[in-house]
């Protein structure tokens, strides 16, 4: 995460500067910001977010899957090793995932494994809009979905995450 800029400052940046400021918003996927840059200037954060959503929406299925796969497991091995991005660490901490009981940690590990085995990608939920209890409940519900439905849900959750990250990145 970089120093907060105003939207007008962000609009004025060249592509490299723009991506360096908000390329992190979509987890390990600066291509979203890079392609959204072409639609400047943005009048509002919502306009910028819609442009980024549109980039994802128009991406081929394999690129969407790569975006989903760029996300870490919740309270997973990267979190335990301290290797999350700053944004992910902050979001998971805010949801209380750093304060799980041993039983909850085991349940989360088990759910992550079941979910990855069934769908082939990590469970994604906007941690900032949830807590450990609602996340564990969502695992149970969403494990009942089909793969196509879960890809759609994951992309919706990524959009929510991106929107909140943009709000925090732009003054």
pLDDT per position as a tens digit, 11-56: 999 999 999 999 999 999 999 999 999 999 999 999 999 999 999 9
Catalytic residue among 28, 39, 71, 110: 71
Buried b (16+ CB within 10 A) or exposed e, 52-86: bbebbeebeeeebbebbebbbbbbbeebeeeebbe
- To the question of pTM greater than 0.85 for the whole model, the response is yes
Whether the Cβ atoms of residue 121 and residue 68 lie closer than 8 Å to each other: yes
pLDDT of 1: 55
Element (H or E) spanning 57, and its range? helix 45-58
Instruction: Taking residues 108-132, report their average pLDDT.
Output: 95
Q: Give the pLDDT confidence of 63-115 residue by residue, as tens digits.
A: 999 999 999 888 777 667 677 788 888 888 888 888 889 999 999 999 999 99
Closest by CA to 133, choosing from 144, 143, 145, 125, is: 125
Catalytic status, residue 71? yes
Q: Which domains, and CATH codes, for the chain?
A: 7-66 (no CATH), 72-160 (1.10.3330.10)
């Amino acid at each position: 995460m970089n120093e907060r800029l105003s939207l007008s400052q962000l609009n004025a940046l060249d592509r490299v500067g723009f991506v360096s400021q908000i390329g992190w918003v979509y987890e390990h996927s600066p291509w979203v910001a890079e392609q959204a840059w072409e639609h400047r200037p943005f009048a509002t954060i919502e306009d910028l977010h819609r442009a980024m959503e549109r980039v994802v929406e128009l991406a081929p299925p394999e690129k969407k899957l790569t975006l989903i796969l760029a996300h870490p497991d919740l309270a997973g091995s990267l979190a335990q090793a301290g290797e999350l991005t700053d944004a992910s660490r902050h979001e998971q901490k805010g949801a209380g995932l750093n304060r799980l009981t041993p039983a909850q940690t085991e349940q989360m590990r088990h759910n992550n494994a079941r979910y990855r085995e069934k769908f082939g990608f990590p469970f994604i939920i906007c941690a900032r809009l949830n807590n450990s209890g609602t996340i564990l409940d969502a695992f149970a519900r969403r494990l009942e979905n089909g793969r196509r439905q879960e890809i759609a849900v994951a992309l919706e959750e990524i959009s929510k995450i991106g929107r909140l990250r943009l709000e925090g990145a732009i003054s």
